A and B are shown apart, each in its own frame.
Chain A
Amino acid sequence: MDRRSFLWNCGGGLGGIALASLLGRDAAAQARPEFSGGLHHQAKAKRVIQLFMSGAASQCDTFDYKPRLIRHAGEKWDPGEKVELFQSNPGVVMPSPWAWKQHGQCGKWVSDLLPHTAGCVDDIAFVHSLMSKSNVHGPATFMQNTGFILPGFPSSGSWISYALGSANNNLPEFVVLPDPRGMPPNGAANWSSGFLPASQQATTIRAGTATPIADLRPPASAQFIGVESERDGLALLNKINRNHAAQRPGDSRLEARIASYEMAARLQLSAPDVLDIRKESAATRELYGLDAEISADMGTRCLVARRLVERGVRFVQVWSGADNGFPRRNWDSHENLAKDHGELGAALDKPVAGLLKDLKSRGLLEDTVVYWTTEFGRMPCSQGSKGRDHNQMGFTAWLAGGGFKGGVSYGATDEWSYKAVENPIYCYDLHATLLHLLGIDHTRLTFRHNGIDRRLTDVHGHIIPELLA
């Protein structure tokens, strides 16, 4: 990626480089239809939807079935070693409040918390052996997003949009759809472009609100701005900017800025269209759970995510859950897991299953990765009477589509769902595999910052062949 870093770091003299590159687009990639060639090798996936469960969704209440928890329910929990928990001392063995059933051809055990998602298991690759380097929300949420437990690093969405550029000049490359209840731990720093150019920042879209994209339109209070003043003004601006650039030949930044106004105008036209879900059919509304109050918001955002990727947005991140405050508004169920996970699960389940089915029926799942993750897991023992404390030693994420193999489970925790024991990994391996399917060699996607050629995968990362179709 030296060429790109050169591009951004040098002050001028960019005459030979295409305008598209200056706007954060990869000129070489642009030349290939839909970048199917990939950056470093043939790509299977073109785009990613990441579903992030903020607050730490429990593996042992969703996808990591351990009958031993049921057999030993209520007994003193003894994993045979000292357990250091975030907040509490280990309580008793606590089985999930939800029953478990097998689903699909693959016979995957899924809890009744997520019955609709359970219907999609044959399209999903589960990873049960994730670990995190922190059991504190802030650092761990950074880690799942950026690969580092410290702030200041670019999110995976920024890396991917940096590597691949846009497949649609009318929309941003990297979009985040936050939970309307609020920001997750670390706030927008989770989707920061870090030290990458600011053009790799995510664009936040507040789906379903009056102003979903900040500054897309002039404020309503500015009555002096109208359709005609805007049309004439942009034409005149273009003229004076062209005149200014003509007196300074050879500076492509000036041209790039002129072009950015043309793109801005196109974005103004295309954004409302992509966000307008009113024309979606009743069947689609039903599929995403839009008509039920509990799932309407998540359903809307999943549907908008589909509409965005359909139009070429590279990376869409959908958040389930806000910060760790009270009343509980994320997955951080220290006190009452049945209630809090129950509500979040009900909000999540149908929309996510709907998204998978919808993408599949449109043929989009073939080259779109859906990536469900969280910052760490929860303990198999109780905290207090009804909650679960943090567990960084083993948790579950899953991937579907875009070249991931359906119906497989990779890695495993011990018989308690406490520690990853079979193929334990950190997010590095998932990131490496994800990049691989996007046609990117994770060791070659680098950016020099403060003396280090930084990578999303730091100095780690192995592709997991078992997950590939």
Chain B
Amino acid sequence: MQPSAHVWAAILLATSLEAANPVSFTGEVRPLLTERCYACHNRSNPSGKFSVESVTTLLTGGVSGKAIQPGRPDDSLLVRTITGEKPRMPKTGRPLTADQVAKLRLWIEQGARDDSGGKDKQETWWSLRPLVKPSVPPTAGRTPVDAFIQKSLSEAGLAFSPAADRRTLIRRVYYDLHGLPPTPQDIEDFVKDPAPDAYERLIDRLLDSPRYGERWARHWLDVAHYGDSHGYDKDKPRPNAWPYRDYVIAAFNQDKQYARFIREQIAGDALYPDDPSAFVATGFLAAGPWDFVGHQELREGTTEKDNTRLLDRDDMVATTISTFVSMTAHCARCHNHKFDPIPQTDYYNLQAVFAGIDRANRPFYDDASANRQLQQLLREKREVQLRLQPLLDKVEFATSPEIVDLDSAIQDAGLQIAHIGLPKTPQDAALKSELEVRRERDRKRKTQLVEAIAGPETYASIDRVQAEMKILDERIAALPKPRMVYSGAAFFPRAGTFRPSLQPRPVFVLGRGSLQSPLKPATPGTLSVVPAPFVLPDDSEAGRRAALANWIAHPDNMLTWRSIVNRVWHYHFGAGLVDTPSDFGRMGSKPSHPEMLDWLAVWFRDEAQGSLKQLHRMILRSQVYQQQSARRGDGEKVDAENRLLWRMNITRLDAESVRDSVLSAAGKLDLKMGGPAVQWFSFKDDHSPVYDYARFDPDDPASYRRSVYRFIVRSVPDPFMERLDCPDPSVLTPKRSTTLTAIQALTMMNNPFVVRMAEHLAERLQSSSTSLPLQVREAVRICFGRNPTDAESMAFLAYAKQHGLPNLARLLFNSNEFLFLD
């Protein structure tokens, strides 16, 4: 994250050899001060009323006076506090190295020259500048996008590549929008379509198909790190995660306005109480991993418990902020952000937004009025629980030395009983029953002691309040069985030590990110550098999230709109205009086409009104997108990485597209949509459930469903998908890597799924025709979307004759042409 002391030492050592050179404040001194002093001494939090931000503030100093005396290092307070036997500063971490001190001394000796040009800070970073729509360059171009791209191409002395042929184009756009290949018939129809708007109609047709939502939802689930199990130790299944996955698919298919898509996922329950799907949308907040043992088994009141919650909120903050605004707020957990203007306070203020929410199953109905009724009853239950909980806590946390001992004895007996399991010897059986008797006796004794401490009035009160609760429970039980979604939840039934906070938990700004060093209470808030309003309707749990959702979706939040158009661009071209789609900070890359990015962002927000389908059309209709992918000498020379987009990028299919394409070619793809996740493993529940992929039959009907519907296990990845670069579902993945390994080749050759589907493709070919040459031709048309050349026909026919069609099918699945897109 930052160069360590070693690296600094090396840098500074190297420079000290050229002592005659003037030391630069912006290049050398400020980075060092930022690393070691800025966390406490900055403008927003000036400990000792002192900030190290600029030469001016150093000269002004703080409560102890001027920090530096230009030309006189020995008289400079700064030098004195960081040197000596036991330097007074920095208060945490190691003292500055001798080289670092020498560097500062030298700078002061040379007169503390300010080379920052009077600017306290560096110029506003590109992503944080207000969004202003630039004018489209006057270059002739099919679309505004083309005009921008062409402008930078001509500046580099380059031009667009010729348009790809229709066969290439239809395959490209099918995979892009559906993650599936076109059928031979689709291809022929398009190639032969004489209408000038054939391509535009094709795009419209693909965007109207539900396959589109299935494909693009998968991208979104990567970014949100969605999974169908909790992860960590035990990795319990999460059987109600899928309604959120279906929500995302539907949102894409319905072309939900992006601002609304944002609001629903963060605070749909609060902002759209009449829309049941908005309840499901908060599955976003719960998409990441969850520490079952920490939440459900650890004892209340321990540091470890608090840490579990801290890290759980951290995941919500990191996911929300990097997904929607492409900033790395999570880097400010232990100190102010080293590179971006995100003070530590901002980070904890964001934690405070999520201070009252956990991840849990939440009941809902698809019918709006039934749902309203249910949610109202749940709100009433929560009100009752607010009165009940303190009473129950009196009993639960009643303690005395004897109770502590009894607790230990009861727990130990439980463990011993579990350890014996099914008794194998009479001694074990005797021991077990003795333990059970003893445990029962201890429990009774404990109950007596607790009753004495809590007092009869507590129990009477509990009975009274529980009677109220019972009425509500009965009313809920009389309703039809609700659906469940694993989502952000502020109220849910207790499980083990996991229970709702009922009120937002207190959140503190933590020194060095440590629970042992609370500095000051955090208040709900967000990135202070963005001028969009953060308005709390009230201080309720849901109100906090609503404020954050509205801040993100606000037209003045420049990050939001830049972020989404860049993500969409990234998936269309295999590379974003900004190549770090979830990091628009100083550690991320800069946009290749900043003006076009801003133009698209404003256009998408205002003219397209947040319609993603409009954005797709804008991009897909461009000449840029329709270029050939072949390399050209002039382009290679000037821009080998193709950042300027003088050609289309060649991409390898992602894991989901590979599997879905194999199914499609085999004629086995089941296009049924939605519902519980399909399990491509044999499942055995246990202390830690067993997810066994080797024992799964690739001809199980579940196997034929699209990959987006698979049950994603966090602890044990699907070996086929993993080897094709499907990311670890616990990692926020804005961008997948593409690797080509021997193990991946083995999987494409030998995985039982591929082998079985090769047989199914062969069966399909045999039923299409009785002539082997025609079967071979059809195989190539299905897998490559074209007719075979004569040489290919001969070679494939000879191979199929000798070794059979299944072997040929398997070979085609393994070819580069099947797996790469031009």
Contacts and interface: CB of A to CB of B under 8 A. Distances in A.
Interface of A: 8-13, 15, 22-24, 84, 86-89, 91, 134-139, 141-142, 149-152, 172, 182-183, 185-189, 192-195, 197-199, 201, 203, 211, 213-219, 221-222, 224-226, 228-229, 232-233, 236-237, 239-241, 244-245, 248-251, 253-254, 256-258, 260-261, 263-264, 266-268, 322-328, 334-336, 383-385, 387, 441, 443-444, 448-453, 459
A182 B750 contact: no
A138 B234 contact: yes
B816 A254 contact: yes
A383 B4 contact: no
B799 interface: yes
Given A198-B737, A453-B1, A219 B755 contact: yes
A183 B713 CA distance: 14
Most buried by A among B302, B311, B416, B749: B749
Most buried by A among B318, B716, B807: B807
A453 B418 CA distance: 45
B641 A11 contact: yes
A323 B755 contact: no
A211 B750 CA distance: 12
Contact of B714 (A172, A189, A328): A189
Contact of B311 (A8, A150, A201, A222): A150
Contacts of A152: 225, 289, 728, 730-732
Contact of A138 (B232, B318, B727, B738): B232
10 contacts: A142-B232, A151-B289, A199-B740, A215-B749, A216-B750, A240-B792, A240-B815, A245-B816, A253-B652, A451-B331
Nearest to A268: B746
A362 to B, nearest CB: 27
B223 to A, nearest CB: 11
A217 B750 contact: yes
Interface of B: 1-4, 6-7, 225, 231-235, 289, 291-294, 298, 302-304, 307-308, 311, 315, 318, 322, 327-328, 330-331, 404-405, 407-409, 411-413, 415-416, 418-419, 421, 574-575, 579-580, 582-583, 585, 587-588, 629-631, 636, 640-642, 649-652, 686-688, 690-691, 694, 714-717, 719, 722-725, 727-728, 730-735, 737-747, 749-752, 755-756, 759, 792, 795-796, 799, 802-804, 806-807, 810-811, 814-817, 819-820, 822
Contacts of A91: 408
A328 B419 CA distance: 7
Given A11-B641, A443-B3, 14 more contacts: A8-B737, A89-B407, A186-B235, A194-B731, A198-B723, A215-B746, A236-B799, A241-B817, A260-B740, A326-B421, A326-B687, A327-B419, A335-B412, A451-B588
A24 B739 contact: yes
B480 to A, nearest CB: 37
Contacts of A240: 792, 795, 811, 815, 817
A455 to B, nearest CB: 8
A135 B806 CA distance: 53
B741 A24 contact: yes
A86 B233 CA distance: 14
A185 B742 CA distance: 29
Contacts of A267: 742-743, 746
Contacts of A89: 404-405, 407-408
Contact of A189 (B231, B404, B738, B795): B231
A9 B302 CA distance: 43
Contacts, number: 338
Contacts of A137: 233, 293
Given A91-B408, A197-B737, A134 B307 contact: yes
Contacts of A194: 728, 731
Contacts of A183: 688, 690, 715-716
A239 to B, nearest CB: 7
Contact of B688 (A23, A88, A149, A325): A325
Contact of B755 (A182, A185, A218, A384): A218
A459 B412 CA distance: 40
A257 to B, nearest CB: 5
Contact of A187 (B303, B304, B574, B715): B715
Contact of A248 (B421, B650, B694): B650
Nearest to B340: A451
B803 A232 contact: yes
Contacts of A248: 629-631, 650, 822
A322 B723 CA distance: 24
Given A254-B820, A335-B416, A261 B715 contact: no
The 9 closest A-B pairs by CB, nearest first: A325-B687, A384-B412, A187-B715, A451-B328, A138-B233, A13-B640, A185-B233, A138-B232, A263-B742
B745 A263 contact: yes
A276 B640 CA distance: 47
A189 B687 contact: no
Most buried by B among A24, A187, A248, A443: A187
A84 B579 contact: no
Given A152-B731, A225-B755, A244 B687 contact: no
Contacts of B650: 11-12, 248, 251, 253
B688 A185 contact: yes
A240 B780 CA distance: 12
A459 B3 CA distance: 9
A341 to B, nearest CB: 13
B750 A134 contact: no
A160 to B, nearest CB: 17
A258 B816 contact: yes
Most buried by B among A136, A198, A237, A387: A198
A89 B688 CA distance: 25
Contacts of A322: 688
A218 B192 CA distance: 41
Nearest to B586: A451
A78 B298 CA distance: 23
Contact of A385 (B289, B412, B817): B412
Contact of A11 (B575, B631, B722): B575
A336 B416 CA distance: 8
Contacts of B747: 214-215
A188 B714 CA distance: 9
Nearest to A137: B233
Nearest to B788: A240
Nearest to B734: A450
Contacts of B292: 138
Given A244-B815, A250-B636, A257-B816, A450 B304 contact: no
B694 A198 contact: no
A335 B411 contact: no
Contact of A325 (B2, B7, B636, B686): B686
Nearest to B693: A214
Nearest to B647: A12
A336 B419 contact: yes
Nearest to B225: A152
Given A183-B688, A194-B728, A233 B822 contact: no
Contacts of B631: 12, 248-251
Given A12-B649, A453-B587, A88 B636 contact: no
B641 A452 contact: no
B784 to A, nearest CB: 9
Contacts of A452: 1, 328, 331, 587
Most buried by B among A138, A217, A245: A138
A443 B4 contact: yes
B680 to A, nearest CB: 13
Contacts of B232: 138-139, 142, 151, 185-186
A263 B746 CA distance: 10
A192 B419 CA distance: 31
A214 B759 CA distance: 20
A172 B743 contact: yes
Nearest to A201: B722
Contact of B740 (A23, A150, A325, A453): A23
Contacts of B303: 84
